[in-house]
Amino acid sequence: MPKMKTHSGAKKTFRLTGSGKIMHERAGKRHLLERKSSRQVRRLSTETSAKATVTMTAKRMLGLK
């Protein structure tokens, strides 16, 4: 059986922490930032851990499970 390839979109979106959690950037910080408040932009800058359903999908796309 051939090796499983990593999903190239997933490896740009998700990262794995040392404890095994899946982290990703928040949505809404790509464009139209002038109209958003500084407070909102700062909140969007932080990474967050993925929800359980997204974690299962991301791990499968990254070839972890």
Does residue 31 fall inside a structural domain? Answer: yes
Whole-number pLDDT of residue 1: 85
Does residue 49 fall inside a structural domain? Answer: yes
**How far is C-alpha 2 from the geometric centre of its chain's CA atoms?**
27
**How far is C-alpha 22 from the geometric centre of its chain's CA atoms?**
7
Helix, strand, coil percentages in the chain from 3-state DSSP, rounded to 5: 40, 15, 45
Q: What is the pLDDT of residues 11-25, one digit of tens each?
A: 999 999 999 999 999
Find the CATH number of the domain harbouring 20: 4.10.410.60
Nearest alpha carbon to residue 57 among 10, 23, 17: 10
Does residue 3 fall inside a structural domain? Answer: no
DSSP secondary structure letters along 1-19: -PPPPPPHHHHHHEEE-TT
Q: What is the pLDDT of residues 9-63, one digit of tens each?
A: 999 999 999 999 999 999 999 999 999 999 999 999 999 999 999 999 999 999 9
Give the number of domains in the chain. 1
Does residue 12 fall inside a structural domain? Answer: yes
* pTM of the predicted structure, to 2 decimals: 0.80
- Distance in angstroms (rounded) separating the CA atoms of residues 57 and 60: 5
Whole-number pLDDT of residue 65: 77
